[in-house]
């Protein structure tokens, strides 16, 4: 037996194996296609793919809505924090004494100022007591100043609470104008 016969025999056997595999595949395919399960799957598959597409669309809508709700929740939490802080500040300010500078009701304008004492703050950080002032001066104190203009209000505040003693003016705002004599007569 020579090389050519061996080669021919291999080709015949390969062709036989190919035909056998091909015929077995066709038989398996025809038996699967004739089954009731495949027909049912072919009927259900388009409906299921439509449901999957709807589910993906709904999921993306839900994600967008969830993101929107999370941002709204964060905004509401921020607003609540600010309102609670304003409430605490208002309660603290309501309990704090209001110091009045100038003749109340006689000047044209009423200013509201916030002052602290830096020496008291330093004593507080050193864990000591200030010899003459109460420790509440470490926090901003509300002062009503009655004056004709802003510069007079600052001058009067500096006269009563001098800077060399550690007093520091943090902020001053116009709160209201006093009623004029004409308005009092007309009312």
Asked whether residue 143 is domain-assigned, the answer is yes
Closest CA to 96 of 125, 116, 74, 81: 116
158 CB neighbour count, 10 Å cutoff: 14
Structure confidence at residue 66 (pLDDT): 96
Asked whether residue 154 is domain-assigned, the answer is yes
Adjacent-strand bridge partners of 169:
115
| Phi, psi (degrees; rounded to nearest 5) at 113 | -125, 155
Asked whether residue 10 is domain-assigned, the answer is no
Q: Which of 33-37, 59-63, 87-91, 122-126 has the lowest mean pLDDT?
A: 33-37
Asked whether residue 163 is domain-assigned, the answer is yes
| DSSP letters for 101-136 | ES-TTTSSEEEEEEEEEHHHHHHHHTT---SSS-GG
Asked whether residue 125 is domain-assigned, the answer is yes
Asked whether residue 142 is domain-assigned, the answer is yes
Structure confidence at residue 112 (pLDDT): 92
How many structural domains is the chain composed of?
1
Q: Print the domain residue range for 115.
A: 97-179
Asked whether residue 42 is domain-assigned, the answer is no
pLDDT in tens, 142-179: 899 999 999 999 999 999 999 999 999 999 999 887 55
**Is 127's pLDDT higher than 80?**
yes
* 142 burial level (CB within 10 Å; 0-12, 13-18, 19+): middle
Asked whether residue 20 is domain-assigned, the answer is no
Please give the residue that has the higher pLDDT: either 16 or 92: 16
pLDDT exceeding 90 applies to what percent of the chain? 58
Whether residue 179 contacts residue 137, with contact meaning beta carbons closer than 8 Å, is answered with no
Question: 170 by DSSP, 3-state: which?
Answer: strand
């Amino acid at each position: 037996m020579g090389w050519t016969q061996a080669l021919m025999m291999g080709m015949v056997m390969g062709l036989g194996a190919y035909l056998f595999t091909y015929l077995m595949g066709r038989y398996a395919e025809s038996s699967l296609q004739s089954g009731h399960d495949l027909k049912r799957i072919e009927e259900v598959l388009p409906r299921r793919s439509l449901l999957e597409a709807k589910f993906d669309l709904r999921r993306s809508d839900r994600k967008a809505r969830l993101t929107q709700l999370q941002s709204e929740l964060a905004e509401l939490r921020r607003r609540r924090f600010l309102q609670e802080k304003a409430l605490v500040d208002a309660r603290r300010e309501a309990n704090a004494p209001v110091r009045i500078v100038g003749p109340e009701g006689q000047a044209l304008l009423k200013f509201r100022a916030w002052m602290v004492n830096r020496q008291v703050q330093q004593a507080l950080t050193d864990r000591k007591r200030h010899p003459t002032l109460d420790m509440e001066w470490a926090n901003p104190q509300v002062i009503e100043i009655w004056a004709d203009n802003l510069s007079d209000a600052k001058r009067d505040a500096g006269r009563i609470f001098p800077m060399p003693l550690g007093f520091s003016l943090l902020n001053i705002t116009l709160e209201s104008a006093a009623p004029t004599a004409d308005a009092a007569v007309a009312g």
